[in-house]
Structure 1
């Protein structure tokens, strides 16, 4: 952004009210030694203006100073403090040759106490803006990263392939980690770059996009380290990892200055790179938090795995396995993802290699636990652990530990799990390696319409598909019917509702019921489509229960449907009239008349 501003000014396109523009980065200012003056500072970086300084100061309104990444000054958080203001009174700030600390020059320019009338543009991470507001500094513009619409515009401009741009956008909606980071322009750029690398040659889009959190965060952290313009010492990074890990264990995400001092980080260069400073009203002092909470978890996992053997890693995974707190699950997921040597890329160049047996130990640990979970999958706790293992495998990037077990068991049950949106992407990717799945049971998992769209390819492989009480509506029917239409193995489809969870009921209109009837006719392998206890709702009856049950069983369907369902006249049986159901009768009334006639084939 700063480069564009300077380029537009020097090219005569914008900002022509300024005769001089002086851009500085925080690193340029911090790397200087000893005290200096404003005149000396300008001459050091822009010697070509030395002869014009005297006349330059006469018209401050024609001068623009730019200070980039000002939050890298630790003292920026204290800019409004009286003590901070008195610290440099010995400087004559109206004498351009007065020597003082570089930060004092920057601060006085920002506060309008030096060269009053000049313009100052500063860039900072958003959390330091509150410090500037407390100092009564007039702020004209605040740029806080991408809005949702701006992120969408960036993605569409990045990818020439509109299909890929659409896929990336939908993918981000499902992944909470990537969604948060994508609002950061740097994060959004990295995400797009990673997705671009997963596109096939000749511009063809892959069937399933796969960017895991470890890949993203590893690249993100590497980019931050490179942008910091100086090398961070290993000891500070290790201490930062300890701070992050202890924070996770104690459910602590805000750290006071005393805590920072306990880890010897108060003067560490790592602070402005990964943490933000802000005033904490409860503590009555400066407090520190990681720029993103997910970054704290990742840094903790990254620094812990550096110093652990493979056995230590698996011991920690076992310890956290049954913990119900999401922060431990996420930490464990990152440990598994980092166990592979390749995904960390430049991070390992900077931090050194991990223990050589880490990858093999983690692989064996996953294999053992996959087998254990599959063998006792009916248990609710086991189902939750198995779902967590699938998330681990996604981060691990290798499906081999589970493929053999799934090919042998051919059954997956998650009736007592609550799925997150991204879990369907993970499940679809893992099950894509299985040729035929005997049964997939996702009853009461909260799949909803978006989940069906993500699982489209998986639905083509199931013999028995159980989807009771998942909050489905007509929006998912087209995807569901299309997938099952080409599924030569499907035998049973259960879309009924559980009496105890009616708030999650599947709600289909007459149009959807007709679509299921047509599916039953065209795919003769289907023995049963169960809509028993389903809420068959028309537009006029939205929200009202209109049918207690509706099963489509074997060829019974041909004897219980009115003429307008199918084009074949021989599907109509005279028993319809015997039951008092006319050919043109409303489907809801027809279904009520058929309830006693239908037989549950199960």
Structure 2
């Protein structure tokens, strides 16, 4: 990831405002057991810049320092403002101190105020390629990176849940988000459910490492319990909307087996009084297919503008093919929807 950042910067794709980018691996910094100043540290890893340091230090706002592998660093760095006085002793690039003090002083802007620092570790969601999704906003006092689109922010927030080593509160977090009546967390929850799919996670795991199996299992279990709970609570509009949203999570998980487990005993999915969008109908179509294990030979009937499968299934006991009454749809999206299962 660090190599990609540096390469894209060098080729002018990202961060054109930075004149110099210095990349360090904490694994390499562990070999420096003596006190050192920042100037000498640069010379150790970038010896060809020895004679240019005075020029480089004149414009700290044009500098980006990347420290990779924070979890591998043997020394402790206290990033809090109230840390020990020992980590306040690097106000100048020529002052000798511990490597941990240099890193701390750069981050706290006690050394080279105005420079930017990026610490990377496996559990940090602002890692590598995700930095390209951020926009830089400069002000007189600080530099802030923001997301150009809310959807990207929701995705990164969901991804962060899978990059946490001990996701003890993931179920509580999901339940609280799902209980919001204004739907502000729906996109986030759909992303979380989608990332529980091995197929979806596989591509990201190539860059970020394997997702904790504990997190994936807890997300799947949460979706399963929510579907069971919501399926019998459709007497109110809020209950129907909650069930529909939960079925969206099921769809994003791409888990047919989970659909059969959770909806196997459900006789009717009722959305009477809700206005279903084409996307809602597509989700219901897939969920119903999974519920009955319909993989081949399913006939899609177009009713109004909503595509929901009409299908037949075989009865193992009689050897006959029985019709499945999966839908009763009007021609308008704003009326009654009830799906006998």
* TM-score normalised by L of structure 2: 0.52
Aligned with residue 181 of structure 2, among 312, 320, 324: 324
Q: Is structure 2 residue 281 aligned with structure 1 residue 424? A: yes
CA contact under 8 A between 1:406 and 1:434: conserved in structure 2? yes
Equivalent residue in structure 1 for 2:117, among 253, 256, 267: 267
Which of the residues 213, 217, 233 maps onto 2:68? 233
Aligned to 1:73: 16
- Aligned residue for 1:338? 195
Shift of 1:416: 4.2
Measured against aligned partners, the alpha-carbon deviations of 1:134-185 in whole angstroms (never above 9, x if no partner) come to xxxxxxxxxxxxxxxxxxxxxxxxxxxxxxxxxxxxxxxxxxxxxxxxxxxx
Q: Distance in 2 between matches of 1:307 and 1:322?
A: 23
Map of 1:408-557 to 2, 5 A cutoff? 408-435=265-292, 449-450=304-305, 452=306, 454-455=307-308, 457=310, 461-462=324-325, 465-467=328-330, 469-470=332-333
The equivalent of 1:288 in structure 2 is 145
Q: 1:435-463 CA deviation, whole Å, 9 max, x = no partner? A: 59xxxxxxxxxx9954x2x3355799436
Matches within 5 A, 1:115-514: 233=68, 266-268=116-118, 273-278=132-137, 288-307=145-164, 309=166, 311-435=168-292, 449-450=304-305, 452=306, 454-455=307-308, 457=310, 461-462=324-325, 465-467=328-330, 469-470=332-333
Counterpart-to-counterpart distance in 2, 1:73 and 1:374: 53
Q: Runs of 5+ in structure 2 lacking a partner? A: 20-51, 72-106, 119-126, 294-301, 313-322
Over 3 Å counting, the alpha-carbon distance change for 1:404 and 1:346 in structure 2 is closer
Count of residue pairs brought into register by the alignment? 227
| Partner SS state of residue 298, structure 1 | helix
TM-score (norm 1): 0.32
Q: Judging changes above 3 Å, is the alpha-carbon distance between structure 1 residues 279 and 457 closer, same or farther for their aligned structure 2 residues?
A: farther
Deviations 1:60-115 (A, max 9, x none): xxxxxxx641x422459xxxxxxxxxxxxxxxxxxxxxx877xx9xx9xxxxxxxx
Structure 1 or 2: larger strand share?
2
- Cα RMSD, aligned residues only: 4.5
Higher relative contact order structure (alpha carbons within 8 Å, sequence separation ≥ 6): 2
In structure 1, distance between residues paired with 2:260 and 2:280: 18
> More helix per residue: 1 or 2?
1
Equivalent pair of 1:333/1:392 in contact (CA under 8 Å): yes
Q: Deviations over 1:303-332 (max 9, x none)?
A: 222215465222211111211344412212
Give 1 or 2 for the bigger CA radius of gyration.
1
> Contact 1:449–1:471 (CA<8 Å) still a contact in 2?
no
